[in-house]
Amino acid sequence: MKNKSVLFVMLSIICFMFGCSANQNATVKPKKNNDPEGNRIVATTVAVTEIMDALEIDLIGVPTSYKVLPKRYDGITEVGNPMSPDMELIMSLQPKEVMSVTTLQYDLESVFEDAGIQTRYVNLESIDDMHREIVSLGEQYGREEQAEKIVQEFTNKLAEIDDKTKGKDAPKVLILMGVPGSYLVATDRSYIGDLVTKSGGVNVFSGEKVEYLASNTEYLQQSNPDIILRAAHGMPDEVVEMFDQEFKENDIWKHFDAVKNNRVYDLEETLFGTTGNLAASKALDELFKMLYPEE
């Protein structure tokens, strides 16, 4: 649970940098006939919203985000940012179900319970978890065909990657997860760590019980990664600048083989989020190019 709080703090920093207070950004934009089936569902994260769109399920509430949401939900009520949604506004919508994610459950569960809101925490902590959730949602809302299509497309992508990496030496990978002002190390239990494993890499911090670890450059050097991946969140340009400054001013980084061999890559935020999302197939393609550039 402590690890969940660490991630929550990182996400809260992202939220703060964008000034995305629920009270400031939650807006009511009514749309006619936006829920003909009467499911009355509110999605509070972008990833969940995109999954519901792919399943062709209508919503009565969506998160407030700087990211572009599916056109299906144009004009739908915005209920604030994922870390601190506007409970009063959500209650006014009279939802039958609100959807958040398990990575925020520890910090939000009591808030939703106190408000008497029925909440489902969707597990997007790995690709396999996400697929199970998609199948479950498809069964619950009569969208089995759509769910099967989503999962099958990714299954085909995994088979393609497996075929390409067969018989090859897997590169050792270090993943740094950064927000403005700080960064952590992502283990194989994190979502991006799971993507690295599925794209044919070996996370140098595998077998850990948590998704993220505090960074210690001397300890990191001992792992001697072939590749360093830098995931920038919140304000990507600012975080990349932070990473560049760290790698330039901290002399220890020049001793990493990955740095010596120019195998340091910055991950695009829209493809590499903190939880599973429907961009996973594209993310795998991008990772494969980084891990196996000779292909």
Q: Which two tokens stand for residue 187?
A: 């283990």
Say whether pLDDT at 71 is over 50. yes
Say whether pLDDT at 30 is over 90. no
Tokens 């398990």 correspond to 102
Say whether pLDDT at 20 is over 70. no
Tell me how crowded residue 223 is: count the other CB atoms within 10 A of its CB.
14
Tell me whether strands 172-179 and 182-186 are parallel, antiparallel or unpaired: antiparallel
**What is the model's pTM?**
0.84
What value does the mean pLDDT of the chain take?
A: 88
C-alpha span between 110 and 264 (Å, rounded): 41
Task: Return the exposure string of 8-25: e unless at least 16 CB atoms fall within 10 Å of the residue's CB, then b.
Answer: bebbbbbbebeebebeeb
CA 20 to chain centre: 18
Q: Where in the chain is the domain with CATH 3.40.50.1980?
A: 2-122, 166-291
Closest CA to 57 of 142, 167, 155: 142
- Helix, strand, coil fractions of the chain, as percent rounded to 5: 45, 15, 40
Closest CA to 269 of 242, 229, 227, 216: 229
At residue 181 the predicted structure's pLDDT band, cuts being 50, 70 and 90, is confident
CATH code of 166-291, in short, is 3.40.50.1980
Say whether pLDDT at 5 is over 50. no
Q: Which two tokens stand for residue 163?
A: 């075929």
**pLDDT, tens digit, 9 for 90 and up, residues 124-173:** 999 999 999 999 999 999 999 999 999 999 999 999 999 999 999 999 99
Q: What is the 3-state secondary structure (H, E, C) of 71-140?
A: HHHCCCEECCCCCCCCHHHHHHCCCCEEEEEHHHHHHHHHHHHHCCCCEEEECCCCHHHHHHHHHHHHHH
Gyration radius of the chain's alpha carbons: 20
CATH code of 2-122, in short, is 3.40.50.1980
**pLDDT, tens digit, 9 for 90 and up, residues 188-245:** 999 999 999 999 999 999 988 899 999 888 889 889 999 999 998 877 789 899 999 9
C-alpha span between 170 and 200 (Å, rounded): 6
Which amino acid, residue 237?
D
C-alpha span between 201 and 292 (Å, rounded): 9
Helix (H) or strand (E) holding 182: strand 182-186
Phi-psi region of 142 (alpha: psi -120 to 50; beta: other; left: phi over 0): left
% of residues, the chain, pLDDT over 70: 88
- Tell me the backbone φ, ψ of residue 218, rounded to 5 degrees: -65, -40
Helix (H) or strand (E) holding 113: helix 105-114
Range 48-66 average pLDDT: 96
Closest CA to 108 of 11, 19, 202, 176: 11
